[in-house]
């Protein structure tokens, strides 16, 4: 009868170890979603550690449409007023972007492989 | 340009009293001089409509790609904001009230439209963009110094603040274009 709790303890430990290894794998490899909001005619600054395969979720809180358009043409997304649009990051590197409708709006995505 | 500056002064002076009313305790003074939400809504909406008409004229007359893109943005943005403004006044049960400021905005815009319709090519582009710089500068100054401080309804105030951010970007865009066209 004393083996019971010990056995359960081992399983719990094993489960925990398994879970944490999954968590680590998730952190280092699985694509993630990053939000960049647009408000009062400004792009919020882009998050660091963006990786190819991650998703950018553009959240436009303005009433007017904006675009997020890369100068190197690697992406060009239309974001209607008060809407959300997602895009997958396909290319590594430093991508300067701007809004085609409002050229005073600018930002940069820095993407590692 | 002078006319546009005068216009800005007209907006500022005719509603100057309203801004100072915020600090005044006398309700009698408020009654006399205050610019109400109904007037503010009319001024903001009128400014948007006038800029839409100016953009339509530019799209008819200009062949410059950058000028046309700017005009298309004015059309798109001012329509979006005015649609919101209409929805808001409807929701609030406010009937926009014509007033001397919105009338002088309209008169001024009519005069400019008539004057620059005789121009073409680069002369037209310059005149249109210069007009856009002045118009947005005047409207932004009015929003900043008078209309936003005087607005009572918080949703209207918020919409005007969004408008100020938007029209400031428009003004900068127009200024950049103006120096490109030099
Ligand atoms: Cu934009």
Residue A104's CATH number = 2.60.40.420
| pLDDT tens by residue, B133-162 | 999 999 999 999 999 999 999 999 999 999
Give the alpha-carbon dihedral of B35, B17, B154, B73, to 10 degrees: 70
- Is the domain of A16 the same as that of A70? no
- Is the domain of A23 the same as that of A37? no
Residue among A64, A100, A104 whose CB faces B172 most closely:
A104
Q: How far is B172 from chain A (nearest CA, A)?
A: 7
**For chain A, how are helix, strand and coil distributed in percent, rounded to 5?**
25, 40, 35
All structural domains of chain B? 2-181 (1.20.1260.10)
Pick from A102, A105, A106 the residue to mutate for testing the B interface (most B CBs within 10 Å).
A102
Q: With a threshold of 0.95, does the pTM exceed it? A: no
Whether residue B111 is predicted with pLDDT greater than 70 in this model: the reply is: yes
Distance A72 CA to ligand 1 centre (A): 18
Neighbours of ion ligand 1 (CB under 5 A): A 66, 99, 101-102, 105
- Is the domain of A78 the same as that of A47? yes
Percent of chain B, pLDDT > 90?
A: 80
- Is the domain of A25 the same as that of A37? no
Domain that holds residue A72: 33-112
Give the number of other Cβ atoms within 10 Å of residue B110's Cβ. 12
Distance B171 CA to ligand 1 centre (A): 13
Q: From CA B49, how far away is CA B179, in angstroms rounded?
A: 26
Residues A90-113 have a mean pLDDT of 96
* Average pLDDT of chain B, as a whole number: 86
Q: Which residues pair with A38 in a beta bridge?
A: A43, A60
- Is the domain of A64 the same as that of A94? yes
pLDDT reported for residue A30: 87
- Is the domain of A48 the same as that of A83? yes
Whether residue B81 is predicted with pLDDT greater than 90 in this model: the reply is: yes
* Average pLDDT of chain A, as a whole number: 83
Q: How far is B72 from chain A (nearest CA, A)?
A: 9
ipTM value greater than 0.90: no
Q: How many residues does chain A have?
A: 113
Residue found under tokens 């710089």: B133
Whether residue A8 is predicted with pLDDT greater than 50 in this model: the reply is: no
CB contact under 8 A, B77 and A104: no
B113 pLDDT tier (thresholds 50, 70, 90):
very high
Whether residue B7 is predicted with pLDDT greater than 60 in this model: the reply is: no
Q: A49 in the Ramachandran plot: left (φ > 0), alpha (ψ -120 to 50) or beta? A: left
CB contact under 8 A, B166 and A105: no
**For chain B, how are helix, strand and coil distributed in percent, rounded to 5?**
85, 0, 15
Domain count for chain A: 2
- Is the domain of A18 the same as that of A52? no
Q: Which residues pair with A43 in a beta bridge?
A: A38
Radius of gyration in angstroms for the set of CA atoms belonging to chain A, rounded to a whole number: 21
Pick from A39, A43, A61, A64 the residue to mutate for testing the B interface (most B CBs within 10 Å).
A64
Is B165 in CB contact (< 8 Å) with chain A? yes
- Is the domain of A95 the same as that of A42? yes
Percent of chain B, pLDDT > 70?
A: 82
CB contact under 8 A, A105 and B169: yes
Is B81 in CB contact (< 8 Å) with chain A? yes
- Is the domain of A21 the same as that of A37? no
- Is the domain of A56 the same as that of A88? yes
* Listed residue (B57, B82, B85, B86) closest to B72, CA to CA: B57
- Is the domain of A52 the same as that of A97? yes
- Is the domain of A92 the same as that of A40? yes
| pLDDT tens by residue, A24-67 | 444 456 899 999 999 999 999 999 989 999 999 999 999 999 99
């Amino acid at each position: 009868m004393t083996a019971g709790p010990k056995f359960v303890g081992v399983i719990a430990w094993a489960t925990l170890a398994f879970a944490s290894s999954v968590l680590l794998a998730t952190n280092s490899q699985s694509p993630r979603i990053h939000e960049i909001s647009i408000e009062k005619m400004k792009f919020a600054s882009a998050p660091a550690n963006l990786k190819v395969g991650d998703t950018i979720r553009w959240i436009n809180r303005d009433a007017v449409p904006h675009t997020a358009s890369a100068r190197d043409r690697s992406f060009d997304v239309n974001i209607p007023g008060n809407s959300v649009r997602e895009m997958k990051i396909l290319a590594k590197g430093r991508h300067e972007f701007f809004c085609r409708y409002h050229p005073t709006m600018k930002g940069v995505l820095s993407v590692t492989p | 340009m002078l006319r546009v500056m005068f216009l800005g002064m007209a907006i500022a002076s005719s509603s100057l009293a309203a801004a100072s009313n915020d600090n005044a305790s006398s309700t009698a003074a408020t009654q006399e001089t205050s610019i109400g939400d109904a007037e503010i809504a009319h001024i903001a909406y009128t400014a948007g409509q006038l800029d839409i008409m100016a953009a339509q004229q530019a799209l008819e007359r200009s062949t410059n790609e950058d000028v046309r893109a700017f005009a298309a943005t004015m059309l798109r943005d001012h329509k979006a904001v005015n649609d919101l403004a209409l929805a808001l006044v409807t929701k609030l049960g406010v009937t926009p009230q014509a007033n001397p400021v919105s009338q002088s905005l309209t008169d001024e815009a009519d005069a400019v439209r008539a004057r620059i319709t005789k121009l073409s090519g680069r002369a037209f582009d310059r005149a249109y963009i210069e007009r856009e710089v002045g118009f947005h500068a005047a409207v932004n100054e009015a929003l900043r110094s008078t209309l936003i401080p005087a607005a009572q309804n918080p949703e209207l105030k918020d919409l005007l603040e969004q408008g100020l951010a938007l029209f400031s970007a428009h003004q900068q865009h127009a200024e950049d274009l103006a120096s490109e066209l030099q």
